[in-house]
Structure formats: structure tokens, C-alpha cells
Amino acid sequence: MINHLIIAPLLIPLIVGIVLLFLRHNVKTQKVISVLSLTAMLVATVLLLFSVLEHGVQTYQLGGWQPPFGIVLVADSLAVLLVLFTAIVALACLLFSIRGLDQERKAYFFYPLLQFLITGVVGAFLTGDIFNLFVFFEVLLMSSYALIVLGGEKGQLRESLKYVLVNVISSALFVTGVAYLYSVTGTLNMADLSNRIAEIGQPGLVTVIALLFLVVFGMKAAIFPLYFWLPGSYSAPPPVISALFAGLLTKVGIYAIIRIFTIIFYHHPDITHQILGGLAAITMIVGVIGAVAYQNLQKILVYNVVAGVGYIIFGLSSFNEPGLFGGIFYLVHDMLIKAALFLLVGAIIVITRTPKMNEASGLIKHYPLLGWAFLAAALSLAGVPPFSGFFGKLMLIQGGFYAEQYWTVGILLLSSLLVLYSVMKIFFSVILGEEKLPTLKERPNIKGLLYPSIILLFLSFIMGMGAEWVYPYVADATTTLLNPDIYIEAVLKE
């Protein structure tokens, strides 16, 4: 009996995206179908998650070809967990876009592009083949190119040029890396790659290739020296699209880094993971420096994305159970909370009509729900106990102590403080304070813009309060990451 559930989260957005191309002039139908399809995808992913927890890692051989000869989709806990949160974040952004995006953009293929973006993200999470990973990276990047430039404003055109340039270069390096790896090992399947590299014991050449992959994925994930494109690119498009990008795109890069450094290149952690640790520490510092420095709402959040990347990579670099557990927990928490924050800032911008912080204040008087939701999101981001950010960071710190990376732990704590400062700065100056709005006569109605982010915040709250319910899934993902044999045996059985 074949479990078609594994490919369902990939196929649903693909087919729906194609169908939506035919319905271009009927925006209303597009909305309905998009919401239905993402809900279906969410349900399928939840079922898949239960099945993975019950029966272990599951594989799906495309075209019936045995690995390592064919392409295989691998559903382990980490991948399915990320697919689940992708579906949640995408659904929230979709619900926001119904009221929060202008009609023009919606008529120009916003919904199909959203579906194709999700196809790429989900495919990148599920695939077990390194070249297929490249293809899905391109699928999601192509969609993101179109989404970033959609609308054709001056800033968008300028930033999309940079974004496309950077990603074309990193994709070319990706292909180069795959070519090197293929000429050393002669295979592209990740499980088989892992076996063969274990046989030859990761000589210096393979470590060089590993670092080339670190450059490639680091450029996608925005870790320290390669993050320069992100602040501009992510603050150019409308808030919904930024929320999608911040919630999903950098996370795919992080996932790829976690995947390859736990399953393929794990033989010389003294070199690779040491470098990862150093880069993670600097990424945290750079992220919070940016977050503290700016007075622009979107820029502050964008630099918080960079800081978040640093925390997760730090979890990987400590390479022990609590560290990886914290990294994964923080990764899924970060997807939720970054999307929620970007959507809340989107609602704030609808009211104030400016992303600048000092031009408006005192929103709490007429928008109390927005104000308190923002406070909750800010506390969750910083890691205050009732919310999900706390548990992830706690485990990250524990992992850091076990790995004796005391300096980086110190930097993490300090940067958490500054992250809190950067978002509370928004809270105090825009939400609280004397009421000052650009146009007081007509107060914009933000009905329908708040509930997607409140759903996300509620989930974050549940993840924080009920960390015990989330624990088995994340623990299972951690076990698979620390024991690559589970993954390899599931893929290359018999």
C-alpha cells in the first residue's frame, strides 16, 4: 500500500496554482479556492505528521524508481513539522491578503504565485535528493522574484534587481557545489551521499564542498557575511508578501543547512560546526545592531529576521540534543512569530500610512486589540515565558552550555535583550503615547486584518504553554537528526 499522503502537501498547491491561472479574472473564486486548498493541505499535513510519529520516517519513490536511482521524497518529523508550519503561515498570510492587498496585485496572479511559492517551499522540505532540492529552490525563488516585483513600484523594482542578482549567483554556486559533490561521490541522493562520505571519511576536499554549500545556503538563509541583500529586499514589497518571505524563505535555507550538516557533512564538526558557531554569533550581533538602529517598522523586523537566523544556526552548531532541539523548536516558533509581527506591522501601516516610527503614535486608544496583540508578539519574539519563544531559547542556552560555548550563550542572551528593546521601542512610540495620526478625520477600518495574526499568536501561546504536546514531535525530529542511520535506513531499505 502506497502512502500518497506524503506527496499531498506538495501536489495540492501545485494543482491549485495551475487551476488558478485559468481563473485570473475571477478574483473572488481564486480566494475561495485558495483558502479551501490550503486548509486541505493543512489537514493532510497533520495526518502525515501523526503517521510519521507512529510509523517512523516514511519515503515516497517518485515514478516507482528505487533510491538512489530515482528521486525520493522523505517525510521525517523535521520536514513534516516544517511543512505543517508552512501551511499555517501561508494560510494566515492568505487570510490577511483578502483585505490587506490591493485589487490590482490580486488580479495579477498573486494567488497562483502564492501557491507556487508554497509548492517550492514544501518540495524543498520534503525532498531527499540534492539536485531536486535545487529545483525546488528555483521554484520558490522564481515565485518570490515575481512576488517581490508584483505591483511595480520604484522601490520594488530596485530591490528585486538586487534580490534576483544575489540569488542567481547563489544558485550558480549551488549547481557548482552539486557538481563537485557528484564528481567526488557519484550520487545525488542524500542518504546515499551520506553513506559514501562516511566510507571515505570526509577528506579535506569534501569539507571544502561542505563549506561551499554553507556559502550557498547561507546566502539563502541570510547568515552573517551573506545577509546584505535581505534588509532591502524584504522591506520593499507589501507587508503580506514580506510576511510570507520572512516566515518561509530564509527558513528553507536554514533547513537545508541543518539537513546537510547533520546527515551528509557531520564527520568533522571541529571544523564545520565551529565555523557555524562563529557565524551564528556574529549574525546575532549584526541582526540586533540593525534592529536597534532603525526607526522604520519594516526594517526593524527585517533585522530581527537576521537575528533569528543566528539563534537557529547556533542550535545546530552546538550539535547536541538540547541544542538541536532548541534550534528546531525556535525555527518553527520563528516562522509563526515573524509572520505574525509582519502582519501586525502591515495593519499598523494601513492605519498610519507610513513605515516610519516617529510619524504616528497612540494607536492603542482606538485600536486596543492591535496594541495588545503587538505586545504579545513582541514578548513572544523576545522569549518571555508564557509564549513559545521562551522554551526554544532555553534549550538553545542549555545546548550552548553543554557544548561549552559560553561566549555565544552570552551573546544570545544579550541579543535577546536588544531584540526585546527593538520591538518594545515600536510598542512604546507607536502603540502607546500621545495620539498623533496623519489623517484623523477618517479612521481606517482594520477589520479582517487582525485575526490572522491573532490566530498565529494563539498558536504561539499554545506552543509555549503546551510545550509538552509539541515535545514528542520535536524530540523525534532531533533524534533523526542526531542519528542519520534512521534516515538512511528508511530511504535505502532492503
Partner 1 sequence: MRTNDVVLKTATQLVTFIIIIFSIYVFLQGHHNPGGGFIGGLMTAAAIILIGIAFDIKTVRRILPFDFKLLTATGLLIAVLTGIGAFIFDATFLTHTYDYFYLPLLGKTELATALLFDIGVYFVVIGVTLTIIFTIGEDS
Binding residues (CB under 8 A) for partner 1: these are 2, 4, 7, 11, 14-15, 18-19, 21-22, 24, 60-64
- Backbone angles phi and psi of 211, in degrees to 5: -70, -30
Query: Which lies closer to partner 1 via its Cβ, residue 7 or residue 341?
Result: 7
Q: In sequence order, which residues have a C-beta less than 8 Å from that of residue 220 and are 6 or more positions away?
A: 137, 167, 170, 249, 250, 252, 253, 256
The distance of closest approach from Cβ of residue 61 to partner 1 in the complex, given in angstroms and rounded to an integer, is 6
Q: Exposure string (b/e) for 218-249, b if CB count within 10 Å is 16 or more?
A: bbbbbbbebbebbbbbbbbbbbbbbbbbbbbb
**How many CB atoms lie under 10 A from the CB of residue 55?**
10
Query: Which lies closer to partner 1 via its Cβ, residue 126 or residue 349?
Result: 126
The distance of closest approach from Cβ of residue 119 to partner 1 in the complex, given in angstroms and rounded to an integer, is 11
Query: Which lies closer to partner 1 via its Cβ, residue 2 or residue 440?
Result: 2
Quote the CA–CA distance of 20 and 13 in Å, as a whole number: 10
Longest Cα–Cα distance of the chain, Å, equals 72
List Cα–Cα distances, 224 to 160, 281, 464, 479, in angstroms: 21, 9, 29, 28
The distance of closest approach from Cβ of residue 304 to partner 1 in the complex, given in angstroms and rounded to an integer, is 37
Query: Which lies closer to partner 1 via its Cβ, residue 65 or residue 469?
Result: 65
Query: Which lies closer to partner 1 via its Cβ, residue 34 or residue 298?
Result: 34
Quote the CA–CA distance of 83 and 79 in Å, as a whole number: 6
Query: Which lies closer to partner 1 via its Cβ, residue 14 or residue 411?
Result: 14
Quote the CA–CA distance of 147 and 273 in Å, as a whole number: 34
Quote the CA–CA distance of 52 and 50 in Å, as a whole number: 5
The distance of closest approach from Cβ of residue 238 to partner 1 in the complex, given in angstroms and rounded to an integer, is 23
The distance of closest approach from Cβ of residue 47 to partner 1 in the complex, given in angstroms and rounded to an integer, is 17
The distance of closest approach from Cβ of residue 240 to partner 1 in the complex, given in angstroms and rounded to an integer, is 23
Please tell me whether the peptide bond between 322 and the residue prior to it is cis, using omega within 30 degrees of 0.
no
In which residue are the cell numbers 516610527 written? 357
Query: Which lies closer to partner 1 via its Cβ, residue 11 or residue 467?
Result: 11
Quote the CA–CA distance of 208 and 141 in Å, as a whole number: 26
The distance of closest approach from Cβ of residue 7 to partner 1 in the complex, given in angstroms and rounded to an integer, is 5
